[in-house]
Amino acid sequence: MRLLLDTNAFLWAVREPAKLSAPAAELITSLDNELVVPALVPWELAIKYRSGKLPEAEPIVADYAAVLLRLGASSLPITHSHTLHAGLLSWEHRDPFDRLLAAVAVIEGLPVVSKDAVFDELPDLRRIW
């Protein structure tokens, strides 16, 4: 199964696996699954690191490609289709990272590994936690 990781799921998988739910940890560590990390994840990590909100992200930001490789995940580029869909979503949620993640998940037909229950508001999106 292909799984789309949100920023927290990615961060926890890399730095603090104990913070993952048991089902999420099992899916992330299974060699049967393909982990996909959208390009918005390093963007969000870099912004939060630079602003001082996420100082522990420094080693990930500094060597993102190697961290992604060690996790066994692939990067998913963001396209104009993703960004347009994010902007046009009929969803009152305003967080731009969540909106873009939701759009990527819907367009790519991927379930999102996320603790954030706000994604459950979208009928076309499947959240795993």
Give the number of other CB atoms < 10 A from CB of residue 32.
Answer: 6
> Would you state the CATH architecture of domain 2-128?
3-Layer(aba) Sandwich (3.40)
Domain ranges across the chain: 2-128
Q: Distance between CA 57 and CA 78 in Å, rounded?
A: 21
Q: What's the average model confidence in pLDDT over 40-52?
A: 97
Which of 73, 78, 83 has the alpha carbon at shortest distance from 36? Answer: 73
Mean pLDDT in the chain?
97
C-alpha dist (Å) from residue 88 to 25, 59, 77, 97: 32, 35, 19, 14
Q: Distance between CA 106 and CA 51 in Å, rounded?
A: 30
Residue 51, CB half-sphere, CA atoms under 13 Å: how many? 8
pLDDT grade for 19, boundaries at 50, 70 and 90: very high
Q: What's the average model confidence in pLDDT over 99-105?
A: 98
For residue range 55-89, what is the model confidence (pLDDT) as tens digits? Answer: 999 999 999 999 999 999 999 999 999 999 999 99
Which pLDDT value is given to residue 35? 98
Which pLDDT value is given to residue 103? 98
pLDDT grade for 92, boundaries at 50, 70 and 90: very high
In percent, the amount of the chain with pLDDT more than 70 equals 100
